Structure 1
Amino acid sequence: MRRLLSALVVALITALTVTGCGIRIPTDPDGTLDRVRDTGVLRAGASPAGDALTVADATPSGPLVELVDRFAASEGAEVEWTVGGEEELVGRLEAGALDLVIGDFSEQTPWADRVSVTRGIRGVDGLGDRPVAILLPLGENAMQAALEVFIDGEVEP
C-alpha cells in the first residue's frame, strides 16, 4: 500500500511539474520563434531568385520578400534583411545569425543536410508553377510550424 501511495505521489508531482513548465510542442531548442516575438526582429537572408526576389541597392523585393514581411508582421516583428549568396546565407543560418533564408530553393535543395526546409510553396509570382522552399535552422520546429501555418493561410494551393 505504501508503494502504491508513493507511486501515486510521484506521478502527481511529475504531472504537475511537466504541465507547469510551459512545455510546448513543437519546440525550438534555440528559441528562435520566442526570440523573434520578444525582440520584434526577424533576421532573414535573401538570395536573388528571378522575379520572385530581386535585389537593388542591397534591398530585396518581390513576392517572396513580401511573404516574409507579412509573416514577420503576424508575429509582431519587422524583418532585418541580409543579402548574399546561398553558401554565405546558409552558413549564417547554421551559426544562428539568421532565422530564415529565402531564394530559389526547392524541397530537394542540396542544403537540406545542413538546414531545415519548408514544404514547397506554390503560386509565388515570378516562379511559374515551380514550388519554392524556405530554409530555417535545423530543429527549430516551432518556428517552422508557425511559418508553414502562416503560408497555408496566405498562398493558394
Structure 2
Amino acid sequence: MRFAFLLMIPFLLPSCDAVPADPEHTLMRVKESGQLRIGIVEGSGSGPTEDFVKTIEDKTGASAAIRRGEAEHLLKKLEDGELDLVIGSFAQKSPWKRHVWLSKALDGSEPAATRPVLRAAARNGENRWIMTIAESVIQP
C-alpha cells in the first residue's frame, strides 16, 4: 500500500502548481503582454479609481488601456474576455454577482450589501487574477 502511494506522488505534484487556476490565463497574459484592459464605468470618479489602476499597474508591470462606458456594456465585455477588469459602483448583491467576481469596496469600507460603492469586477474563475486584485484593495 505504501509503495503504491509513493508511485503516485510524481503524478500528484504537478497538479499542485495549477492552484489557484486562471483557466483563461488572465494574469499571465497581462504580465506577458504588458497591457491591462480596464473598463471604467461612467461617473465612477477619478481619485480612488486612478489610485487603484496605478496599484494594479505596479503589481503587474502592465500599462492600463482604459475604456469608459456604461456598466452593463463594460461588464458584458468583461464576461466575454474583452476586458480584464471593470471598475465602477456596484452593490455586493448586484445581479452581475452571478456572472463576475466583485471585490470589496476599494476604499476599504464595509457598506450594506445593497449599497453601491466603488469596486473592481473580474471574470469568475480567474482565481490567480482575482487574488492579485483582492490583494490590491485597501484593507481597513
Q: Which sections of structure 2, spanning at least 5 residues, go unmatched?
A: 110-115
How far apart are residue 131 of structure 1 and its match?
4.2
Residues 2-41 of structure 1: matches in 2 within 5 Å? 5=3, 7-8=4-5, 10-18=7-15, 23-41=17-35
Name the CA distance, whole Å, in 2 between partners of 1:9 and 1:28. Answer: 29
TM-score under structure 1 length normalisation: 0.74
Query: Amino acid of the residue matched to residue 29 of structure 1?
Result: P
**Counterpart pick for 2:118 among 105, 129, 132:** 132
Cα 1:111–1:35 shift into 2, 3 Å:
same
CA deviations on 1:10-59 (whole Å, 9 max, x unpaired) are 3133145446xxx242221100011111111110001123xx52xxxxxx
C-alpha RMSD of matched pairs (Å): 2.3
Query: Amino acid of the residue matched to residue 119 of structure 2?
Result: A
Cα 1:68–1:13 shift into 2, 3 Å:
same
Residues 74-93 of structure 1: matches in 2 within 5 Å? 74-93=59-78
Kept in 2: contact 1:48–1:104 (CA 8 A) = no
Name the CA distance, whole Å, in 1 between partners of 2:72 and 2:117. Answer: 21
Cα 1:110–1:40 shift into 2, 3 Å:
same
Identical pairs, percent = 30
TM-score under structure 2 length normalisation: 0.82
Name the CA distance, whole Å, in 1 between partners of 2:32 and 2:86. Answer: 20
Residues 4-153 of structure 1: matches in 2 within 5 Å? 5=3, 7-8=4-5, 10-18=7-15, 23-49=17-43, 52-53=44-45, 61-122=46-107, 131-151=117-137
Q: Which sections of structure 1, spanning at least 5 residues, go unmatched?
A: 54-60, 125-129
Query: Amino acid of the residue matched to residue 145 of structure 1?
Result: M
What is the total number of aligned residue pairs between the two structures?
134
How far apart are residue 109 of structure 1 and its match?
1.8
